[in-house]
Amino acid sequence: MQAAAGFNLLGKVPAWLRAHDPELAATRRATRAAVVLPALFALCNEVFHAPVMATFAAFGAFSMLLLVDFTGPMVQRLRAHVGLAVAWLLLICLGTVVAHVTWVAVIVTVVVGFAVLFSGVVSSVLAGASTALLLAFVLPVTAPAPASELPARLAGAGLAAAASLLAISLLWPRPGTDPLCAPAVRACRAAAAQLHADASRLTHDADAPSVQACRASADEAEVAAAGLRTAFDATPYRPTGLSISSRAVVRLVDELTWLSTIVADSAPPPVDHPVCDPEAHAVRRAAAVVLERTADLLDAPYGAPDALHAAQETLRAAMGRMERSATVLLPVHLPGPGTDSEVRAFIGTLDLSFRAQELGFATLQIAGNVDLAAAAERRSWPERLLGLEPGAPARPLAAARERAVAHLRPNSVWLHNSLRGAVGLGIAVALASLTGFQHSFWILLGTLSVLRSNALSTGQNAVRALGGTIAGSIIGVGLLLLIGHHGTALWFLLPVAVLIAGIAPAAVSFAAGQAAFTITLVILFNIGHHPSWHIALLRVQDIGLGCAVSVLVGLFFWPRGAAGAVDRALADAYTDSARYLVGAVEYAVGRCGAHPSSAAAPLEEGREAAAAARRLDDAFRSFLAERGAKPVPLADMTTLVTGIVGLRLAADAVLGLWQRAGDRHPGTGRAEARMVLLATAGRVAGWYRDLAVSLAGNSRVRDPLPHSPAAAASLVASLRRELRDDDGRASDTAVRIIWTVDHLAAARRLQPSLKAAARHGGSA
């Protein structure tokens, strides 16, 4: 019975891990470390009889297998690990040289700590490796040793690097693609299939699918979009990395969700003879092809993007033809005075073309995002390391310098956190030196517990980290007391402790991970010794000192403010994007009168909105990399970030619509229609400005704007007189007015999801 119960328990472990560790990413890293670290430690201790080499081999393996998780194809990951190994060797040399003079060690630690932490703003590769790099320097600088010991230290780190390269390539290799890519590909292909089916039915093709087949296609697209969202929400922590391509894929989740809503809303009604608009249907077909080529590039990001670029150009051309068809070839027999129903019916005939236009803009946005992600994946290793943006001039060093200089300002959270971390590490090194050599390892234990807090990007708070460290110390001492003189048992406990230390932060809690990590260090530092009551009591004293240091380091090192910085960046981006939307509508108002205004397009407002979006992207990356608390769920934060895209897209669409407007039939004054446009834009932009204030000040978000029948009635009333120009010919300007209001309505429809994200995330 007991054996059966044991087998049942073991059988539940894989299911439990998959439920708590999606994609088994943490389990994969922990398993590698549990195999490699004890093996290296045993090799150096028992075969080479080199305890110094054993220590550096163990910490090197822990660092290179658990503290980093490089993305990209295997070749790129191996190059990244080779670069990390070289940096480890250099930092070990530097730490060993400066460790003997306390004030020199402290100053160099502050400089190195700041350089490592601040370099993360340049590239995601450096940001993801910051903890591992700091460990390479902190380990030797807190353990002064003669120069004759340096070869053993380097040999240990070299063994760890070689073993790590073999482990990541041979032991359960990580999948080469992002876990969100496959569901995103399915969502793109399902949406494309629905668009093909709808367009075939609307144009009465000979092989057009039935209504039931169209409905089944729509259901498949809805299921695929829901599957993508489920994959994204499967874990409370980020399922992707900090790289450009990873952040683009994160944004792709909301963009595809948004697209699925547009596709569903624009589906043909279940009638036998739907309205036919050949140019709008051509846009649907072209959008479907773009989505198919987008899925192809997501599947194979290292392939040539030429097919996607050609499909994008075809879609843009189809949208242009549709716009000319809708705004120039209008029916001549327009409704007369008093026929409100006919006017509304006429406006309704434009809905199909507007939906196609909205669909085209959304598809081009998604295609551009995926193209950016693929271009980022195709960058060379030096370009990745220096954070060169895809498509930027080939000046990697200059681009990296510009990016760093942009954050050398008093209000930069990244600068604040880098300075705080550097000072905290300097204090730890000073205390380690002042307390004497026998305490250095345990001061290191407390420091590493704080440094390790971002190993798996779990985002828990400092109190839990320090609480886990103290709990692990107590449990470790208890193990020493229980084991007594049976030191061999520590060898059997070491791989188990390493495995738990790697899995616990993602699958249990961050505090549990900190406790397991501390237990691992307790075991590691006692292997080869004979634990006794006397040694255990001394260790209690040393652990107490280490924990006290970790508290002090935590006060300095723990980054604070990234979530607040994202809120401020969101507020700025929404404010600037709302101003851009109003500017675009004001430009439209100036163009739709009897005497079109010569006012310039709001290009400056557009540039400011784009710059604010770039600053938001930097703040978002800082939020992902932050070691402190993350009270805002990633899904909600991503919704707020992606809302900027929808708002700017509406402004871009309005501006482009009126920049392409002709002046052949300016028509009448259209004063009433212009007032409707300005009033609607003011209401929509006002809501987003209030959202910005709420995000910046943590106040309550306003309720979303309801649909305004009064505004719609005013528009209909004004257009009854404005559908013809003074010569009685059809007015394309009236159609542009209708489409402008439609774009404003699309911006309004984003508001409920943004309010929910702000409320659930605790940002407001």
Residues 198-246 have pLDDT tens digits of 777 666 565 666 667 777 887 888 888 877 777 765 543 343 444 566 6
d(Cα 253, Cα 232) in Å, to the nearest integer? 7
Q: In whole angstroms, give the CA distance from residue 323 to residue 735.
A: 10
Token readout for 19 is 């439920």
Contacts for 684-689: CB closer than 8 Å, 24+ residues apart: 684/578, 684/581, 684/744, 684/747, 684/748, 685/578, 685/579, 685/581, 685/582, 686/578, 687/748, 687/751, 688/574, 688/575, 688/577, 688/578, 688/581, 688/647, 688/747, 689/574, 689/575, 689/578
Please, which residues bridge with residue 154 across strands? none
CA distances in angstroms from 287 to 316, 376, 742, 743, listed in the order given: 9, 24, 20, 19
Taking 60 as the threshold, does the pLDDT of residue 480 lie above it? yes
Kindly report which listed range (52-66, 543-557, 730-744) carries the lowest average pLDDT score. Answer: 543-557
Whether 1 shows a pLDDT value over 80: the answer reads no
The stretch 346-366 carries a mean pLDDT of 77
Give me the count of residues in the chain.
Answer: 764
Position 613 scores a pLDDT of: 79
CA gap 269, 276 in Å, rounded: 12
Instruction: Pick the more confident residue, 330 or 701.
Output: 701
When comparing pLDDT for 316 and 11, which is higher?
Answer: 316
Place of tokens 């009333």: 717
- Cβ partners under 8 Å of residue 516, min gap 6: 472, 497, 500, 501, 504
CATH class for the region spanning 179-378? mainly alpha
- The rounded distance, in Å, linking the Cα atoms of 171 and 31 is 9
Enumerate the H helices of 67-101 as residue ranges. 74-98
pLDDT tens, position by position, 68-95: 887 767 877 888 889 899 999 999 999 9
Higher pLDDT: 575 or 344? It is 575
Weakest mean pLDDT among 10-24, 547-561, 595-609, 650-664:
547-561
CA 63-156-113 angle, to 5 degrees, is 45
Q: With bands split at pLDDT 50, 70 and 90, how would you rate the model's confidence at 461?
A: very low
The helix/strand/coil state of 724 is strand
C-alpha to C-alpha distance for 77 and 57, rounded to whole angstroms: 20
The reported pLDDT for the residue numbered 577 is: 92
pLDDT, residue 341, reads 56
Q: What are the start and end residues of each CATH 1.20.58 domain in the chain?
A: 179-378
Instruction: Of 218-227, 261-270, 457-466, give the lowest mean pLDDT range.
Output: 457-466
Q: Is it the case that residue 762 has pLDDT exceeding 50?
A: no
pLDDT at 437 over 60: no
pLDDT at 127 over 60: yes
Could you give the CA distance from residue 86 to residue 502 in angstroms, rounded to a whole number? 24
Tell me the average pLDDT of the chain.
76
Q: Burial code of 244-253, b = ≥16 C-beta within 10 A, e = fewer?
A: bbbbbbbbbb
C-alpha atoms less than 13 angstroms from C-alpha of 598 in its C-beta half-sphere: 0
β-bridge mates for residue 730, sequence order: 724
Q: What is the pLDDT of residues 380-416, one digit of tens each?
A: 666 666 556 665 544 555 656 766 776 677 766 677 7
706-756 pLDDT tens trace: 876 666 666 666 665 555 555 555 567 777 787 888 888 888 888 898 888
Q: Could you give the 3-state DSSP secondary structure of residue 487?
A: coil
What is the three-class DSSP state of 730? strand
Give how far Cα 291 sits from Cα of 278, 281, 296, 305, 649, Å. Answer: 20, 15, 9, 13, 18
